Amino acid sequence: MRLHHAFHTVPAARVGELRHFYGDLLGLPEIAKSSALHDMDVIWFAVGDDHLHFGLDDSWDRGHPAHHIALWYEDVRPVLDRLRVAGLEVNELASFPDYRYRRFYTDDPFGRRVELVTPLDVAP
């Protein structure tokens, strides 16, 4: 089992913030959406073989605060540095006893939590 994609909506007027956070700060490449979605206002980012999908919709709702996206990085340090330089707060989450990785989180420009996961031996 693995993540295939996650879908959220964001206000259409804030698409620049979306691209800056997920593309520039988190380092995710923007990819072409499926041709079957040619008439939908969506932006896709690649996460390895998986995707994050964002619909541009002015009636967006971030939903329950427990909803989040988790991204795995072999070395999260450059990402944490970019986030901090951009003025974003980054916090470390307690790892569960059976997890062999460290967890950090920040919020995207829309108030959604983004979890950043890295191996235990990577010190920020």
CATH dotted code for 5-57+67-119: 3.10.180.10
Domain boundaries, the chain: 5-57+67-119
- 28-61 pLDDT, tens per residue? 999 988 777 778 888 999 998 888 888 888 765 6
The CB-based long-range contact list for 18-22 (8 Å cut-off, 24+ gap) reads 18/43, 18/54, 18/108, 18/109, 18/110, 19/43, 20/109, 21/108, 21/109, 22/52, 22/54, 22/108
- 59-83 pLDDT, tens per residue? 656 555 556 788 889 899 999 999 9
pLDDT score, position 1: 35
> What SS3 state is found at 77?
helix
pLDDT band at 4 (very low <50, low <70, confident <90, very high): low
The pLDDT of 14-26, averaged and rounded, is 96
- 91-108 pLDDT, tens per residue? 998 776 777 788 899 999
Whether the model clears a pTM of 0.85, i.e. scores above it, the answer is: no
